[in-house]
Amino acid sequence: MFLEQVACAKSSLAYLFGCAGQGLAIAVDVHAGDEATFMTMAEQRGVRIRYVIDTHIHADHVSGGRRLAELAGAEYGLHDSDQGLPFEFLPLGDGQILRVGNVSAQVIHTPGHTDDSICLAVTDHSRGDAPWFMLTGHTLFVGGVGRPDLHGRATEMAEKLYDSIFGRILSQPDYLEILPGAQAGSVCGGGISGKPCSTIGFEKKFNRSLIGKREDFVAQVRDAVLPEVEEMQMIVRANTGRAM
């Protein structure tokens, strides 16, 4: 398999990964304006982008996902809770597996930062039948977690975030690598490291947001004071095709 992590504007991290042998790839969390870069990356590797995924409807940057999917002849995927948006997309259900050659990405629904947040557990079947890394979107960062307050209902969303992180992510093996959707400087979470990757085991031990007692986690995450997201209304309108 191959994997590329791309540092983008607004401290975001996007990804291109897949199977070089069979020439198929998946792109994740691509910004508007970066579509040509991803097309060039795919061309240089001799792969065709089969799926373009956004780990959630972003509020901090305009997505290039739909445009890249058009250019590449790929399917654009979002979690199936986004159904009803005024454009066609591949609705991704919890547990669904996207296969590109020897590589697969399993969808894990992890609401909390947003209702539609997903992670992707990625397996290289030429190495083994268990996931090697997880793209954690804006659910779990290196050193932090996704903020739950962007669309209101902060307490309820912080509770969902707890269940997603502790129930669906930290239950994975300690050796599993995590590759988040943003690094230090992002407004989508607090305490985020400038190191763009980690492991489940390291985060369990040293991520200060991961307080095991549910009510303490909820209170800390809900009450964290984070900067406002600039131009959020415009960005969400662009990413959903409708007003908030």
Q: 102: Cβ–Cβ under 8 A, 6 or more apart, which residues?
A: 1, 19, 21, 22, 124, 125, 126
- In the numeric block, the tokens 């590589």 are attached to 103
Give 197 or 226: the residue with its C-beta nearer to Fe ion.
226
User: In the complex, what is the shortest distance from the CB of residue 118 to Fe ion, in angstroms, rounded to a whole number?
Assistant: 12
Site string for Fe ion, 186-225 (x = CB under 5 A): --x-------------------------------------
- In the numeric block, the tokens 């373009």 are attached to 52
Give 47 or 134: the residue with its C-beta nearer to Fe ion.
134
Give 103 or 169: the residue with its C-beta nearer to Fe ion.
169
Q: Is 109 in the site for Fe ion (CB under 5 A)?
A: no
User: In the complex, what is the shortest distance from the CB of residue 188 to Fe ion, in angstroms, rounded to a whole number?
Assistant: 4
Site string for Fe ion, 172-191 (x = CB under 5 A): ----------------x---
| Token reading at 65 | 């996902």
User: In the complex, what is the shortest distance from the CB of residue 13 to Fe ion, in angstroms, rounded to a whole number?
Assistant: 12
Bridge partners, 152 (sequence order)? none
* Integer Cα distance of 134 and 153 in angstroms: 27
User: In the complex, what is the shortest distance from the CB of residue 113 to Fe ion, in angstroms, rounded to a whole number?
Assistant: 6
Give 80 or 115: the residue with its C-beta nearer to Fe ion.
115
SS (H, E, C) 29-98: CCECCCHHHHHHHHHHHCCEEEEEECCCCCCCCCECHHHHHHHHCCEEEEEHHHCCCCCCCEEECCCCEE
Total chain residues near Fe ion (CB under 5 A): 2
* Integer Cα distance of 207 and 211 in angstroms: 9
User: In the complex, what is the shortest distance from the CB of residue 189 to Fe ion, in angstroms, rounded to a whole number?
Assistant: 8
Closest CA to 7 of 23, 22, 29: 29
Give 54 or 124: the residue with its C-beta nearer to Fe ion.
54
Provide the H-helix boundaries in the chain. Answer: 35-45, 65-72, 154-162, 200-206, 214-223, 232-240
Give 56 or 67: the residue with its C-beta nearer to Fe ion.
56
User: In the complex, what is the shortest distance from the CB of residue 138 to Fe ion, in angstroms, rounded to a whole number?
Assistant: 4
* Integer Cα distance of 240 and 61 in angstroms: 12
Instruction: Enumerate residues 125-144 that contact Fe ion by CB under 5 A.
Output: 138
Give 11 or 104: the residue with its C-beta nearer to Fe ion.
11
Binding site for Fe ion (CB under 5 A): 138, 188
